[in-house]
A and B are shown apart, each in its own frame.
Chain A
C-alpha cells in the first residue's frame, strides 16, 4: 500500500520535473528541474531495492555532472528575444523530431501489447542473491562475468579523458606560473647580495 503510494509519488514527480525541464523558459531553471528529476529517479531505485545504483546516480549525476552543467549554463548570456525570434525558423525541425519520437512511442506501445520480448534465458545466472548486499552482488557479477566489458568501459573512458585534455591543452610561454618547489628551495644566502655602491652609481643586479 505505502509502497504503491510512494512509487506513484516519485514517478509523478519524475515526469513532472522532466516536463518542466523543457517547459522552463530559463535554462538554469531547466537544469535545476533536471536535477530534481535525477533525484526522484534515485528515489525510485531505492524503492526497487537497488540502493547502490541510487547512490551512484546521486553521486555521479547530481553531484558531479549536473554541477558542471549548471556551471556552464549559468555563464550563458541569454537574450530571450533572440530565442523567440528563432522559433519560426526552427519550428519545422522541431515538429519533425516530435513526429519521430511520437512514432517510436507508438510502435513501442504496439509491440508491448503484442507481448514482451525474451531477452536471454532464465538460467538463474542473473537472479539476485538474497542474503548478500547490493554492492557485493554487483561486484561479484562485474568482476567475474562482465570483467571484459567493465575493463573495456574503463579504457574507453580513459581514452575520452585523455582526448579531452589533449584537445584543450595549450602551452602559453608568456604566462609565468608559480613554481612552489623553486620558491621553497630558495635560501637567504643566494637571494640577498650586500653591496656598497658609489653615490649616484646605482646597483647592478
Chain B
C-alpha cells in the first residue's frame, strides 16, 4: 500500500505513515463489524441448538440485533461503584479491548495482506495474548467487590495454566514450519499432506496438537465450557459484575475479538491459512482472503457448538486438565516432533 501512496506523488516517509494508518483502520473497522455479526451468529447457532428462534426482531432475520444492542449500551450511563478504584476500574476494559485488537496486526489475511510482516509474528501473538489477562485481573480487583475478585483470581490461574501448553504446541508447529513468520508458516503448509492437502493438521504428530490447541484456545479465551471467570451460576457475572454501558461493551467486544483471533490462529497454524484446502490449481482462483474467512467461520462454528452443548467445567477439573494432561502431553509431543524431524529432515 506504501507504493500506492508513493505513486500519488508523496515522499516515502509520509506514504509509509499513511499506509500504516490506513492498514490499521482497514483491519480494526471490519473487525468490529465482524465481531458484531459474529455475536449475532453465535446467538443464532446457540438458539438453533436449543430449538429456539434467537434474535429475529431488529432488521431482516434480526441481523441488526448487535447494532441495536451497541446503541443501547452506548446511550446508557456509566456507573462507577463508590468503593471502586476509579482509574483502574476505567482502564481495565480499555486494556482488554486494545490488547484484543493489537494481536491482529500480524495476522496475514491473504498473500501479502498483512499489516506487519515481522519475523517473530507467532511470538508477538503469544506475547500480546498473554497480556489479555490483565484486563480481567485489574477489573476484578478494582471493582472492590467479592464476586469480581474471585473471578480475577480464577482468570489469573486459568490463563497462565493454558498458556504453558499453548506455548509447547506452538513450538511443535514452529519446528515443522522452521520459521516464526506467519506468512512463511502458511507457505510451508502448501501441499504438506500427501503432496496435495494444504495444512499441518494432516500429520499424525500434529493432529493431536491441533486438538489440544483448539481446547486450550477455548480455555485461554475463557469461552464455554471454560468460562469460569464469568460463571453466572456462582459468580453473578464474574469480573463484569460491576460494569455497565460502554465499559461493559468493551469487555464484550474484546472477548469476541479474542475468540475470532483464536479461530484465525487455528486456521493459520494447522489448516493452511489463506491457502485453499487442496493444492489444486482451480481452487487458487478464489482469493485467499475468502478461504481464510471461511476457515475462521468454520472454527467459530465449532466454538459455538461446544458452547451450546458442553456443560461448564469445575475449577479443579480445569486445573487438572491443564496441568496434568495437556502440559505433559504437549511436552511429550515437543520431544516426539523434534525427534521425528531429526530423523526425517536433518539426518
Chain A residues in the interface with B (C-beta under 8 A): 28-29, 32, 35, 51-52, 55-56, 58-59, 62-64, 67-68, 70-71, 74-75, 133-135, 177-178, 180
Tell me which residues across on chain A come within 8 A of B163, comparing CB atoms: 63-64
Partner of B118, one of A51, A62, A70: A51
Q: How far is the CB of A125 from chain B (nearest CB, A)?
A: 24
A178 adjacent to B316 (CB under 8 Å): yes
User: Known pairs A68-B156, A71-B153. 17 more at Cβ < 8 A?
Assistant: A28-B141, A51-B118, A55-B123, A55-B126, A58-B127, A59-B126, A62-B131, A63-B127, A63-B131, A63-B133, A67-B134, A67-B160, A70-B137, A74-B141, A74-B152, A177-B316, A180-B320
Knowing A64-B163, A135-B120 are in contact, say whether A71-B156 is a contact too (CB < 8 A): yes
Main secondary structure of the interface of A (DSSP, over half): helix
B124 at the interface (CB under 8 A from A): yes
Tell me which residues across on chain B come within 8 A of A29, comparing CB atoms: 88
Tell me which residues across on chain B come within 8 A of A55, comparing CB atoms: 120, 123-124, 126-127
Could you list 15 A-B pairs, sorted by A, with CB under 8 Å? A51-B118, A52-B123, A55-B127, A59-B127, A62-B127, A62-B131, A63-B130, A63-B131, A63-B133, A68-B156, A71-B137, A71-B157, A133-B120, A135-B120, A177-B316
Main secondary structure of the interface of B (DSSP, over half): helix
B119 adjacent to A133 (CB under 8 Å): yes
B137 adjacent to A58 (CB under 8 Å): no
Contact-residue bracket for chain B: 20 to 34
Q: How far is the CB of A130 from chain B (nearest CB, A)?
A: 14
Tell me which residues across on chain B come within 8 A of A70, comparing CB atoms: 137, 156
Among all A-B residue pairs, the 7 with the closest Cβ atoms: A63-B130, A58-B127, A55-B123, A71-B156, A133-B119, A59-B127, A55-B127
Chain B residues in the interface with A (C-beta under 8 A): 88, 118-120, 123-124, 126-127, 130-131, 133-134, 137-138, 141, 149, 152-153, 156-157, 159-160, 163, 180, 316-317, 320
Cα of A59 to Cα of B159 in the assembled complex, Å: 13
A52 adjacent to B127 (CB under 8 Å): no
Q: How far is the CB of B300 from chain A (nearest CB, A)?
A: 25
Partner of A178, one of B120, B131, B134, B317: B317
Cα of A59 to Cα of B48 in the assembled complex, Å: 40
Partner of B130, one of A51, A59, A133, A178: A59
B180 adjacent to A135 (CB under 8 Å): yes
Q: How far is the CB of B163 from chain A (nearest CB, A)?
A: 7
A67 adjacent to B123 (CB under 8 Å): no
Tell me which residues across on chain A come within 8 A of B316, comparing CB atoms: 177-178
Q: In the complex, which residue of chain A has the Cβ closest to the Cβ of B153?
A: A71
Interface-centre pick from B119, B124, B127, B316 (highest chain A CB count, 10 A): B127
Tell me which residues across on chain B come within 8 A of A35, comparing CB atoms: 134
Tell me which residues across on chain A come within 8 A of B88, comparing CB atoms: 29, 32
Q: How far is the CB of B16 from chain A (nearest CB, A)?
A: 11
Cα of A74 to Cα of B149 in the assembled complex, Å: 9
Cα of A102 to Cα of B152 in the assembled complex, Å: 40
Cα of A134 to Cα of B153 in the assembled complex, Å: 36
A59 adjacent to B123 (CB under 8 Å): yes
Tell me which residues across on chain A come within 8 A of B159, comparing CB atoms: 67
Tell me which residues across on chain B come within 8 A of A71, comparing CB atoms: 137, 153, 156-157
Cα of A63 to Cα of B317 in the assembled complex, Å: 23
Q: In the complex, which residue of chain B has the Cβ closest to the Cβ of A29?
A: B88
Cα of A71 to Cα of B123 in the assembled complex, Å: 24
Partner of A52, one of B120, B141, B152, B156: B120
Tell me which residues across on chain B come within 8 A of A63, comparing CB atoms: 126-127, 130-131, 133, 163
Q: In the complex, which residue of chain A has the Cβ closest to the Cβ of B132?
A: A63
Q: In the complex, which residue of chain B has the Cβ closest to the Cβ of A55?
A: B123
Knowing A51-B118, A135-B180 are in contact, say whether A58-B131 is a contact too (CB < 8 A): yes
B127 adjacent to A67 (CB under 8 Å): no
Cα of A67 to Cα of B156 in the assembled complex, Å: 7
Cα of A52 to Cα of B174 in the assembled complex, Å: 15
Tell me which residues across on chain B come within 8 A of A134, comparing CB atoms: 119-120
Q: How far is the CB of B229 from chain A (nearest CB, A)?
A: 14
